[in-house]
Amino acid sequence: MNNDLDLIHLLTQASLPVKFVLALLIGASIWSWWIIARKRRVLSRAAKAAEKFEDRFWSGADLAQLYREVSQGKDPEGLETVFEAGFREFAKLRQKRGVDPRSLVESAQRAMRVAMIREIDRLEHSLNTLATVGSISPYVGLFGTVWGIMIAFQGLANVKEATIAMVAPGISEALIATAMGLFAAIPAVVFYNRYSNKVESLESRYDIFQDEFSTILQRQAHPEDNYR
């Protein structure tokens, strides 16, 4: 209990710049934890949605019927968006006369690539914030520490006999800024790396699906080749 009271006393007696640094780091920590919790839900939902759609896609369902189900559903995302964009472009161009089969597939591939890039951008949203908090917070805390130590030693300028007890409170409050900087930075760095790996895994999964779906569309664009 005394340690808690001592810590509170140190924080309340800290200089204004150190208080500002601590408030900034606490705010950054709360913000990063909010992003961490939200990203966890988003990435988990994206992984489950990708697995569910792949099961539907490879179950042998009619592609046109699957397209209607996806396009009429609520807020398609992930692989559904990639599939919808590719099949829509393929079906639209296929209705036109004189369109080269290769152009059909290439147009569908471009549409899928754009949809995939948008999905990856959505999944990566706010990850840069975690990287920023993780890289800057230790330096912000260090600034508060240096400032606090400087103020502590300036207080000894008019003192004839300086003792460690006179500067200990100032140094202690200064070191709290460094600790708070690490407290904000470490979780941000850990979860940034973890979530970045998950996004890369989903991107690879989307890319593989795009290649496999392109092969299917190529067969449909050249139906005569299936009978050779």
- Across the 228 residues of the chain, what is the mean pLDDT of every consecutive 10-residue run? 54 73 91 95 93 90 87 83 92 78 87 94 93 94 84 66 62 80 94 96 94 89 54
The residue among 36, 27, 15 whose CA lies nearest residue 154 is 15
Exposure string for 50-60, b = 16+ CB within 10 A, e = fewer: beebeeebeee
Q: What CA–CA distance (Å, rounded) separates 10 from 7? A: 5
Q: Residue 100's pLDDT is what?
A: 77
Domain range annotation of the chain: 16-222
Q: Which of 219, 226, 227 is nearest to 108 (CA)?
A: 219
pLDDT at 211: 92
* pLDDT at res. 111: 93
Question: What global pTM score does this model have?
Answer: 0.81
Model pLDDT, residue 104:
85
pLDDT of residue 164: 59
How many whole angstroms separate alpha carbon 213 and alpha carbon 108? 10
